[in-house]
Chains A and B, each alone.
Chain A
Protein backbone atom coordinates (compact mmCIF):
# COMPACT_ATOMS: atom_id res chain seq x y z
CA UNK A 1 0.00 0.00 0.00
CA UNK A 2 1.39 3.41 -0.95
CA UNK A 3 2.08 5.63 2.07
CA UNK A 4 0.12 8.38 0.42
CA UNK A 5 -3.00 6.30 -0.07
CA UNK A 6 -4.57 7.11 3.31
CA UNK A 7 -4.03 10.79 2.57
CA UNK A 8 -5.70 10.36 -0.80
CA UNK A 9 -8.63 8.62 0.82
CA UNK A 10 -9.04 11.40 3.33
CA UNK A 11 -8.72 14.08 0.69
CA UNK A 12 -11.31 12.24 -1.36
CA UNK A 13 -13.63 12.25 1.67
CA UNK A 14 -13.13 15.99 2.06
CA UNK A 15 -13.71 16.54 -1.66
CA UNK A 16 -16.93 14.54 -1.45
CA UNK A 17 -18.15 16.62 1.47
CA UNK A 18 -17.21 19.84 -0.26
CA UNK A 19 -19.36 18.91 -3.25
CA UNK A 20 -22.37 19.67 -1.06
CA UNK A 21 -21.09 23.17 -0.39
CA UNK A 22 -22.35 25.95 -2.65
CA UNK A 23 -22.03 29.70 -2.74
CA UNK A 24 -24.85 31.54 -0.95
CA UNK A 25 -27.79 31.87 -3.39
CA UNK A 26 -28.31 35.54 -2.51
CA UNK A 27 -24.95 36.44 -4.02
CA UNK A 28 -26.10 35.92 -7.60
CA UNK A 29 -28.88 38.47 -7.35
CA UNK A 30 -26.64 41.06 -5.70
CA UNK A 31 -23.83 40.54 -8.19
CA UNK A 32 -26.16 40.64 -11.20
CA UNK A 33 -27.57 43.95 -9.92
CA UNK A 34 -24.05 45.27 -9.53
CA UNK A 35 -23.19 44.10 -13.04
CA UNK A 36 -26.22 45.98 -14.41
CA UNK A 37 -25.12 49.13 -12.60
CA UNK A 38 -21.57 48.81 -13.92
CA UNK A 39 -22.73 48.32 -17.49
CA UNK A 40 -25.60 50.78 -17.51
CA UNK A 41 -25.71 52.65 -20.81
CA UNK A 42 -23.69 55.81 -20.45
CA UNK A 43 -25.55 59.07 -20.60
CA UNK A 44 -25.32 60.90 -23.93
CA UNK A 45 -22.19 62.93 -24.01
CA UNK A 46 -23.01 66.62 -23.49
CA UNK A 47 -19.54 68.05 -23.96
CA UNK A 48 -20.85 70.50 -26.55
CA UNK A 49 -23.34 72.08 -24.14
CA UNK A 50 -21.02 74.43 -22.19
CA UNK A 51 -19.40 76.01 -25.28
CA UNK A 52 -22.79 76.37 -26.91
CA UNK A 53 -24.22 78.01 -23.80
CA UNK A 54 -21.24 80.37 -23.65
CA UNK A 55 -21.65 81.37 -27.29
CA UNK A 56 -25.38 81.92 -26.83
CA UNK A 57 -24.77 84.07 -23.76
CA UNK A 58 -22.21 86.19 -25.57
CA UNK A 59 -24.58 86.66 -28.52
CA UNK A 60 -27.47 87.61 -26.25
CA UNK A 61 -25.43 90.09 -24.22
CA UNK A 62 -24.06 91.65 -27.41
CA UNK A 63 -27.57 92.03 -28.81
CA UNK A 64 -28.81 93.58 -25.56
CA UNK A 65 -25.94 96.05 -25.46
CA UNK A 66 -26.55 97.09 -29.05
CA UNK A 67 -30.22 97.67 -28.41
CA UNK A 68 -29.76 99.49 -25.09
CA UNK A 69 -27.00 102.00 -25.86
CA UNK A 70 -28.01 105.32 -27.52
CA UNK A 71 -27.24 105.53 -31.20
CA UNK A 72 -23.80 106.71 -31.99
CA UNK A 73 -23.68 110.41 -32.87
CA UNK A 74 -23.19 111.23 -36.49
CA UNK A 75 -19.56 111.75 -37.30
CA UNK A 76 -18.62 115.32 -36.68
CA UNK A 77 -17.18 117.18 -39.62
CA UNK A 78 -13.54 117.82 -39.47
CA UNK A 79 -12.64 121.13 -37.88
CA UNK A 80 -11.34 122.41 -41.15
CA UNK A 81 -14.52 121.55 -42.97
CA UNK A 82 -16.61 122.95 -40.11
CA UNK A 83 -14.89 126.29 -40.39
CA UNK A 84 -14.67 126.18 -44.09
CA UNK A 85 -15.24 129.74 -44.88
CA UNK A 86 -14.26 129.38 -48.47
CA UNK A 87 -11.71 128.13 -50.87
CA UNK A 88 -7.97 128.37 -50.44
CA UNK A 89 -6.54 131.70 -51.54
CA UNK A 90 -3.43 131.19 -53.61
CA UNK A 91 -0.35 132.94 -52.29
CA UNK A 92 1.73 131.77 -55.24
CA UNK A 93 0.89 131.37 -58.92
CA UNK A 94 -1.54 128.49 -59.56
CA UNK A 95 0.83 126.86 -62.05
CA UNK A 96 3.53 126.75 -59.42
CA UNK A 97 1.13 125.29 -56.85
CA UNK A 98 -0.06 122.69 -59.35
CA UNK A 99 3.53 121.56 -59.94
CA UNK A 100 4.28 121.02 -56.23
CA UNK A 101 4.32 117.24 -55.73
CA UNK A 102 4.09 116.91 -51.95
CA UNK A 103 2.33 119.92 -50.51
CA UNK A 104 0.78 119.60 -47.04
CA UNK A 105 -2.01 121.39 -45.20
CA UNK A 106 -1.21 122.64 -41.70
CA UNK A 107 -3.66 124.27 -39.35
CA UNK A 108 -2.04 127.18 -37.57
CA UNK A 109 -2.74 130.40 -35.73
CA UNK A 110 -0.99 133.70 -36.20
CA UNK A 111 -1.60 137.48 -35.79
CA UNK A 112 -4.15 138.72 -38.24
CA UNK A 113 -1.72 141.46 -39.28
CA UNK A 114 0.37 138.85 -41.13
CA UNK A 115 -2.45 138.52 -43.67
CA UNK A 116 -1.43 141.88 -45.01
CA UNK A 117 1.96 140.41 -45.99
CA UNK A 118 0.19 138.12 -48.42
CA UNK A 119 -1.88 140.99 -49.82
CA UNK A 120 -5.02 140.17 -47.94
CA UNK A 121 -7.19 142.93 -46.45
CA UNK A 122 -6.84 143.45 -42.68
CA UNK A 123 -8.99 145.73 -40.55
CA UNK A 124 -6.72 147.87 -38.41
CA UNK A 125 -9.11 147.40 -35.47
CA UNK A 126 -8.59 143.68 -35.54
CA UNK A 127 -4.99 143.59 -36.60
CA UNK A 128 -3.85 142.42 -33.19
CA UNK A 129 -6.28 139.51 -32.98
CA UNK A 130 -5.11 136.01 -33.68
CA UNK A 131 -6.51 134.23 -36.69
CA UNK A 132 -6.76 130.49 -37.37
CA UNK A 133 -6.04 129.35 -40.83
CA UNK A 134 -5.07 126.31 -42.83
CA UNK A 135 -1.87 126.79 -44.72
CA UNK A 136 -0.80 124.82 -47.79
CA UNK A 137 2.96 124.42 -47.64
CA UNK A 138 5.40 123.14 -50.24
CA UNK A 139 7.85 120.42 -49.15
CA UNK A 140 10.43 123.17 -48.75
CA UNK A 141 8.18 124.98 -46.25
CA UNK A 142 7.01 127.73 -48.58
CA UNK A 143 3.42 128.93 -48.00
CA UNK A 144 1.47 128.26 -51.20
CA UNK A 145 -2.15 128.96 -50.19
CA UNK A 146 -4.21 129.95 -47.19
CA UNK A 147 -7.75 129.41 -46.00
CA UNK A 148 -9.12 131.26 -43.00
CA UNK A 149 -10.95 129.05 -40.55
CA UNK A 150 -12.54 131.73 -38.38
Chain B
Protein backbone atom coordinates (compact mmCIF):
# COMPACT_ATOMS: atom_id res chain seq x y z
CA UNK B 1 0.00 0.00 0.00
CA UNK B 2 1.22 3.48 -0.70
CA UNK B 3 0.02 7.01 -0.74
CA UNK B 4 -0.52 8.45 -4.20
CA UNK B 5 2.40 10.38 -5.68
CA UNK B 6 2.56 13.72 -3.98
CA UNK B 7 2.22 16.48 -6.55
CA UNK B 8 1.49 19.54 -4.42
CA UNK B 9 0.81 21.95 -7.27
CA UNK B 10 -1.68 19.68 -8.97
CA UNK B 11 -3.35 18.85 -5.67
CA UNK B 12 -3.62 22.46 -4.64
CA UNK B 13 -5.10 23.35 -8.02
CA UNK B 14 -7.69 20.61 -7.59
CA UNK B 15 -8.34 21.76 -4.05
CA UNK B 16 -8.90 25.34 -5.20
CA UNK B 17 -11.37 24.14 -7.83
CA UNK B 18 -13.08 21.93 -5.28
CA UNK B 19 -13.54 24.88 -2.93
CA UNK B 20 -15.26 26.67 -5.81
CA UNK B 21 -17.73 23.79 -5.99
CA UNK B 22 -16.13 21.87 -8.88
CA UNK B 23 -17.38 18.32 -8.43
CA UNK B 24 -14.91 16.87 -10.90
CA UNK B 25 -12.06 18.27 -8.81
CA UNK B 26 -13.48 16.65 -5.69
CA UNK B 27 -13.93 13.34 -7.48
CA UNK B 28 -10.35 13.53 -8.75
CA UNK B 29 -9.03 14.10 -5.24
CA UNK B 30 -11.29 11.38 -3.87
CA UNK B 31 -10.07 8.85 -6.43
CA UNK B 32 -6.51 9.82 -5.68
CA UNK B 33 -6.78 9.20 -1.94
CA UNK B 34 -9.75 6.90 -1.33
CA UNK B 35 -7.88 3.60 -1.38
CA UNK B 36 -5.05 4.81 0.83
CA UNK B 37 -7.53 6.16 3.37
CA UNK B 38 -9.59 2.98 3.23
CA UNK B 39 -6.55 0.74 3.67
CA UNK B 40 -5.34 2.87 6.54
CA UNK B 41 -8.76 2.61 8.21
CA UNK B 42 -8.85 -1.12 7.54
CA UNK B 43 -5.50 -1.68 9.20
CA UNK B 44 -6.44 0.61 12.04
CA UNK B 45 -9.87 -0.88 12.75
CA UNK B 46 -9.47 -4.43 11.48
CA UNK B 47 -13.00 -4.43 10.11
CA UNK B 48 -14.08 -3.79 6.53
CA UNK B 49 -17.44 -2.43 7.65
CA UNK B 50 -15.94 0.04 10.11
CA UNK B 51 -13.24 0.95 7.61
CA UNK B 52 -15.93 1.79 5.03
CA UNK B 53 -17.69 4.00 7.56
CA UNK B 54 -14.45 5.70 8.52
CA UNK B 55 -13.57 6.26 4.85
CA UNK B 56 -16.95 7.79 4.14
CA UNK B 57 -16.84 10.00 7.23
CA UNK B 58 -13.31 11.10 6.39
CA UNK B 59 -14.35 12.35 2.96
CA UNK B 60 -17.52 13.89 4.35
CA UNK B 61 -15.26 15.82 6.67
CA UNK B 62 -13.16 16.74 3.64
CA UNK B 63 -16.27 18.07 1.87
CA UNK B 64 -17.65 20.05 4.78
CA UNK B 65 -14.44 21.18 6.48
CA UNK B 66 -12.15 21.72 3.52
CA UNK B 67 -10.89 24.97 5.00
CA UNK B 68 -9.35 23.07 7.92
CA UNK B 69 -6.68 21.68 5.65
CA UNK B 70 -3.54 23.79 5.78
CA UNK B 71 -1.24 23.11 2.79
CA UNK B 72 1.69 24.44 4.80
CA UNK B 73 1.40 21.56 7.26
CA UNK B 74 1.56 18.64 4.87
CA UNK B 75 -0.05 16.83 1.99
CA UNK B 76 -3.75 16.25 1.51
CA UNK B 77 -3.13 12.52 1.90
CA UNK B 78 -1.47 12.95 5.28
CA UNK B 79 -4.25 15.26 6.44
CA UNK B 80 -6.88 12.75 5.36
CA UNK B 81 -5.03 10.00 7.23
CA UNK B 82 -5.06 12.20 10.32
CA UNK B 83 -8.82 12.70 9.98
CA UNK B 84 -9.32 8.97 9.40
CA UNK B 85 -7.19 8.16 12.44
CA UNK B 86 -9.27 10.43 14.67
CA UNK B 87 -12.52 8.99 13.33
CA UNK B 88 -11.24 5.44 13.71
CA UNK B 89 -10.18 6.12 17.29
CA UNK B 90 -13.68 7.39 18.03
CA UNK B 91 -15.17 4.26 16.51
CA UNK B 92 -12.85 2.07 18.52
CA UNK B 93 -13.47 3.96 21.75
CA UNK B 94 -17.20 3.39 21.30
CA UNK B 95 -16.51 -0.30 20.94
CA UNK B 96 -14.14 -0.17 23.89
CA UNK B 97 -16.85 1.36 26.04
CA UNK B 98 -19.10 -1.51 25.09
CA UNK B 99 -16.46 -4.06 26.16
CA UNK B 100 -16.33 -5.54 29.63
CA UNK B 101 -13.22 -4.01 31.27
CA UNK B 102 -12.41 -7.37 32.88
CA UNK B 103 -11.87 -8.76 29.43
CA UNK B 104 -9.24 -6.14 28.72
CA UNK B 105 -5.67 -6.82 29.77
CA UNK B 106 -2.66 -5.00 28.45
CA UNK B 107 -2.31 -2.94 25.29
CA UNK B 108 -1.99 -6.04 23.17
CA UNK B 109 -5.25 -7.54 24.31
CA UNK B 110 -6.86 -4.13 23.81
CA UNK B 111 -5.68 -4.11 20.24
CA UNK B 112 -6.94 -7.63 19.75
CA UNK B 113 -10.29 -6.55 21.10
CA UNK B 114 -10.54 -4.10 18.22
CA UNK B 115 -10.43 -6.86 15.67
CA UNK B 116 -13.81 -7.68 14.25
CA UNK B 117 -13.93 -11.45 14.49
CA UNK B 118 -17.11 -11.69 12.49
CA UNK B 119 -15.75 -9.87 9.45
CA UNK B 120 -11.99 -10.09 9.76
CA UNK B 121 -9.52 -9.06 7.18
CA UNK B 122 -8.89 -12.58 6.02
CA UNK B 123 -11.88 -12.08 3.77
CA UNK B 124 -9.86 -9.37 2.10
CA UNK B 125 -6.34 -10.57 2.69
CA UNK B 126 -6.40 -13.99 1.17
CA UNK B 127 -2.71 -14.53 1.70
CA UNK B 128 -2.16 -16.42 4.94
CA UNK B 129 1.18 -14.80 5.64
CA UNK B 130 -0.21 -11.36 5.09
CA UNK B 131 -3.08 -12.09 7.43
CA UNK B 132 -0.69 -13.29 10.11
CA UNK B 133 1.34 -10.12 9.73
CA UNK B 134 -1.82 -8.07 9.88
CA UNK B 135 -2.79 -9.82 13.10
CA UNK B 136 0.65 -9.18 14.53
CA UNK B 137 0.42 -5.51 13.56
CA UNK B 138 -2.98 -5.25 15.19
CA UNK B 139 -1.63 -6.81 18.37
CA UNK B 140 1.17 -4.36 19.06
CA UNK B 141 0.61 -1.40 21.36
CA UNK B 142 -1.60 1.25 19.72
CA UNK B 143 0.84 4.16 19.87
CA UNK B 144 3.51 2.01 18.20
CA UNK B 145 1.01 0.53 15.75
CA UNK B 146 -0.06 4.04 14.59
CA UNK B 147 3.45 4.92 13.51
CA UNK B 148 4.05 1.53 11.93
CA UNK B 149 0.87 1.76 9.85
CA UNK B 150 1.59 5.34 8.80
CA UNK B 151 5.27 4.96 7.95
CA UNK B 152 5.59 1.33 6.83
CA UNK B 153 2.18 0.58 5.37
CA UNK B 154 0.90 3.99 4.25
CA UNK B 155 4.24 5.37 3.05
CA UNK B 156 3.89 8.63 4.90
CA UNK B 157 7.10 10.47 5.62
CA UNK B 158 8.27 10.75 9.21
CA UNK B 159 7.25 14.40 9.18
CA UNK B 160 3.77 13.56 7.94
CA UNK B 161 3.40 10.77 10.49
CA UNK B 162 4.51 13.19 13.17
CA UNK B 163 1.85 15.63 12.00
CA UNK B 164 -0.86 12.98 11.99
CA UNK B 165 0.00 11.71 15.48
CA UNK B 166 0.79 15.11 16.96
CA UNK B 167 4.29 14.11 18.02
CA UNK B 168 7.78 15.16 16.95
CA UNK B 169 9.86 13.36 14.35
CA UNK B 170 12.27 11.96 16.95
CA UNK B 171 9.37 10.27 18.71
CA UNK B 172 8.18 8.89 15.38
CA UNK B 173 11.60 7.32 14.82
CA UNK B 174 11.80 5.79 18.29
CA UNK B 175 8.23 4.48 18.20
CA UNK B 176 8.78 3.03 14.75
CA UNK B 177 11.89 1.24 15.97
CA UNK B 178 10.02 -0.22 18.94
CA UNK B 179 7.06 -1.11 16.74
CA UNK B 180 9.32 -3.07 14.41
CA UNK B 181 10.93 -4.82 17.36
CA UNK B 182 7.52 -5.77 18.78
CA UNK B 183 6.41 -6.94 15.37
CA UNK B 184 9.54 -9.06 14.96
CA UNK B 185 8.90 -10.56 18.38
CA UNK B 186 5.31 -11.42 17.50
CA UNK B 187 6.31 -12.82 14.13
CA UNK B 188 9.11 -14.95 15.62
CA UNK B 189 6.97 -18.12 15.96
CA UNK B 190 5.95 -17.74 12.36
CA UNK B 191 9.59 -17.46 11.31
CA UNK B 192 10.58 -20.45 13.42
CA UNK B 193 7.77 -22.48 11.92
CA UNK B 194 8.92 -21.56 8.45
CA UNK B 195 12.51 -22.55 9.28
CA UNK B 196 11.42 -25.92 10.68
CA UNK B 197 9.29 -26.51 7.63
CA UNK B 198 12.33 -25.89 5.46
CA UNK B 199 14.42 -28.44 7.51
- On A, residues with C-beta under 8 Å from B are 3-4, 6-7, 10-11, 13-24, 27-28, 30-32, 34-36, 38-39
User: Considering only CB atoms, which chain B residue lies closest to A11 in the complex?
Assistant: B152
**Is B191 close to A, CB under 8 A?**
yes
Closest B residue by C-beta to A40: B21
B35 within 8 Å of A by Cβ? yes
Least distance between A11 CB and chain B CB atoms (Å) = 5
Partner of A23, one of B37, B133, B184: B37
Does B180 interact with chain A (Cβ within 8 Å)? Answer: yes
Interface of B, helix, strand, loop or mixed by DSSP:
helix
Q: Residues of B contacting A15 with CB < 8 Å?
A: 1-2, 153
How long is the Cα–Cα vector from A15 to B153 in the complex, in angstroms? Answer: 6
- Which A residues lie within 8 Å of B37 (CB)? 23
Residue of A nearest to B36 (CB): A23
Count residues of B near A (Cβ-Cβ below 8 Å): 42
Determine if B39 is an interface residue (Cβ-Cβ < 8 Å).
yes
Task: Name the distance in Å between A3's Cβ and chain B's nearest Cβ.
Answer: 7
B13 at interface, CB cutoff 8 A: no
Distance, CA A18 to CA B152, complexed state (A): 12
A28 touches B126 (CB 8 A): no
- Say yes or no: is B31 at the interface (Cβ < 8 Å to chain A): yes
* A7 CA to B34 CA, complexed, in Å: 27
Cα distance A3–B180 in the bound complex, in angstroms: 10
Contact B63 A14 (CB under 8 A): no
For the complex formed, measure the closest distance between the CB of B149 and the CB atoms of chain A, giving whole angstroms: 10
With A3-B184, A17-B125, A35-B26 known to touch, is A11 a contact of B133 (CB < 8 Å)?
yes
Give the tally of cross-chain contacts (CB within 8 A).
101
Residue of B nearest to A30 (CB): B56
B56 touches A27 (CB 8 A): yes
Given the known interface contacts A7-B180, A21-B39, A32-B23, the answer about A13 and B127 at a Cβ–Cβ threshold of 8 Å is yes
Contact B130 A23, beta carbon cutoff 8 Å: no
26 of the cross-chain contacts (CB-CB < 8 Å) are: A3-B184, A6-B184, A6-B187, A10-B132, A10-B133, A11-B152, A11-B153, A14-B134, A15-B153, A16-B130, A17-B124, A17-B126, A17-B127, A18-B39, A21-B35, A21-B124, A21-B125, A27-B52, A27-B55, A27-B56, A28-B31, A30-B56, A31-B30, A31-B63, A38-B63, A39-B23
Q: How far is the CA of A27 from the CA of B55 in the complex (A)?
A: 8
Q: Which 10 A-B pairs have the closest CB atoms?
A: A39-B21, A17-B130, A23-B38, A18-B1, A23-B34, A10-B133, A14-B133, A17-B125, A14-B130, A7-B184
Other-chain residue from A3, A14, A27, A38 in contact with B137 (beta carbon distance below 8 A): A14
